[in-house]
Amino acid sequence: MESAERLLKATRPTARNLFYAVDRVLAAVRRVRAAGGSPAEARRTAVAEAEAVAREDTAACVRIGEIGAALVTDGARILTHCNAGWLGFSDWGTALAPLYRARRDGKRFSVWVDETRPRLQGARLTAWELANEGIDFQVIPDNAAGWLMRRGEVDLVIVGSDRIAANGDVANKVGTYEKAVCARANGVPFYVAAPLSTFDAGAATGDDIPIEERDPGEVLLATGPDAEGTMRTVSLAAPGAGARNPAFDVTPADLITGIVTERGILRPHELAGAATGAPRSGA
């Protein structure tokens, strides 16, 4: 179990939710073993705790959708970055949950979907989800968002988060910080949607959040289906080019209008209190 813990946490060092879930399952197993329970009992306990985390995660995302839907108005043009929907959570998602709830409430709006280089989570995942939900959207290059804001074509930005520091600084997919800066410069509200399990009381500021760096090959190459549907990898850069591939960045709290959680929308000055302890998602 401890070997699995180290392996799982090493896969996504920036993602607080992963640490939260792994820690809960491992703590449950340790309680059973400390009480003299058998390995079979420990296995059953691990599965039960994991399922409880999943149920709570779903409930938190549903509530985030209900609360965040109030931010979505008829005719709104909403920008999002990366994928924070059905595919990224047990269900519903975070940044996309308010959109799904608003759509079910009969609101009409459109979404600008950042492509999210280099893995294209927006173009591949968010676009797929929105199409399945019947929500109007268009995929845009990552570096087009600021131009659209300047033209007055973005009314609201909603993104997810991988980890939130005690002072309200937010780590999310790289490129989020740039969107927040552009939003502030153009008077566009910038919201983060995240369950309380994303808050990290052990990180005083965003400088304490570990930022994962991934294979530079993701920047230099692209993989996708050709016209016949065969997956192929092609080079995007000049031969011999090097690259750096930080997977996340940190957005300072003073650039954030509010964080939509399952307990309501928190303002930056309220975040320190929310990050104390390790609240359960959906609690």
Q: How far is CA 121 from the centre of its chain?
A: 11
What are the CB-based long-range contacts (under 8 Å, 24+) for 241-246? 242/216, 243/216, 243/217, 243/219, 244/213, 244/216, 244/219, 245/118, 245/213, 245/214, 245/215, 245/216, 245/218, 245/219, 246/174, 246/211, 246/212, 246/213, 246/214
Q: Do 83 and 8 reside in the same domain of the chain?
A: yes
CATH number for the domain harbouring residue 13: 3.40.50.10470
Task: Name the β-bridge partners of 113.
Answer: 80, 139
231-274 pLDDT per residue, tens:
999 999 999 999 999 999 999 999 999 999 999 999 877 765 55
Burial of 275 (0-12, 13-18, 19+ CB in 10 A): buried
Task: Specify the pTM.
Answer: 0.92
Q: Do 50 and 183 reside in the same domain of the chain?
A: yes
Count structural domains, the chain.
2
Q: Do 110 and 231 reside in the same domain of the chain?
A: no
162 tagged catalytic = yes
Spatial neighbors of 148 by CB under 8 A, at least 6 apart, are 79, 112, 140, 154
Range of the domain at 242: 213-246
Q: Do 162 and 94 reside in the same domain of the chain?
A: yes
78-120 pLDDT per residue, tens:
999 999 999 988 889 999 999 999 999 999 999 999 999 999 9
Q: Which helix (H) or strand (E) holds 217?
A: helix 217-220
238 vs 44: CA distance, rounded Å: 53
Spatial neighbors of 46 by CB under 8 A, at least 6 apart, are 1, 25, 28, 29
Average pLDDT value for residue range 18-33: 95
Catalytic residue chosen out of the listed positions 114, 155, 162, 249: 162
